[in-house]
Copies of this chain bind each other. A is one copy, B any other.
Amino acid sequence: MSTTVAKALSLLDHFSEAEPEIGLSELARRSGVDKATVHRMLGVMCDAGLLEKRGDARLYRLGAGVLRLARVREAAFPVSALVQQSLAELAARLGETAHASLISGRGLATIGICESNRGSRVSLVAGEILMLHCTASGLAVLAYSRPERVDRVLAEPLVARTTRTITNPGVLRARLEEIRLSGFAEADQTAEDDVYGIAVPLFDSDGEATGAIAIATPAHRMTNDLRQEIITALIAEAERVTVSSGGRVPATFRAAAARFVQV
């Protein structure tokens, strides 16, 4: 079922901020692919510039090609740069960690993080992939996605990341309906213990959700006042990002947001 190209590309997912360089055997072990196969794939990806191996050491790491591709994308469709500005403002204003993510494959790719400067704060790993069904950002995106995407996510088993994760498809659908009406999504320790996330979707030129910006706070610190403040700020910044990146805020969201501000 799995194509070789998919297998090769999945190798890239094993590189993270925590483990930026990996050896051949190690990668073969983690991916469950034969060593010979991994070796050949790594070679090809080195040729393509997606990977490179450090001169003397025989470790592989992400190559300069990924920087180039990112530049090409940003030159044509700038979002990363735009978003970074909003994140900085949000983090400064609210004193909590702000982050942004975009749909990438079947998950959300974190493309920007701005940590608060408080002692106690939520710390996120750059380049992490968020799941759609349990994170605030994921829920915000799903609530404003085409039914096909929702169906695709609900078709697969909903992994329980914490004891509070919603694993029942029916319950999740109801949850998405609520979110659609309110304009923002909350995840009170459904993705990670002690983390309370609030997210608002970003839209493309077709008015479809493409990602989200979010605030993550230590769960115990969340109060009603802070919650209100966060949501108001997120809605404003999300609209700014959406509009300045050429997106269109759909009427359904605008109505929901207006309803919130009224209250």
Contact = CB atoms under 8 A, between A and B. Distances in A.
Contacts of A103: 52, 64
Tell me what chain A mostly uses at the interface: helix, strand, loop, or mixed: mixed
Interface in A35-56: 40-41, 44-50, 52, 54-56
A64 B20 contact: no
Nearest first, the 9 A-B pairs at minimum CB distance are A49-B104, A20-B76, A70-B70, A72-B127, A64-B102, A49-B105, A68-B109, A66-B69, A62-B73
A17 B68 CA distance: 11
Nearest to A108: B64
Contacts of A112: 71
B75 A17 contact: yes
Interface stretch (A4-12, A214-222, A225-233, A237-245): A4-12
A245 to B, nearest CB: 12
Interface of A: 3-6, 8-10, 12, 15-17, 20-21, 40-41, 44-50, 52, 54-56, 61-77, 79-80, 102-107, 109-112, 126-127, 129, 204-206, 208, 211
Contacts of A41: 5
A74 B70 CA distance: 11
B127 A45 contact: no
A61 B77 contact: yes
B71 A126 contact: yes
A105 B46 contact: yes
B129 A68 contact: yes
A126 B64 contact: no
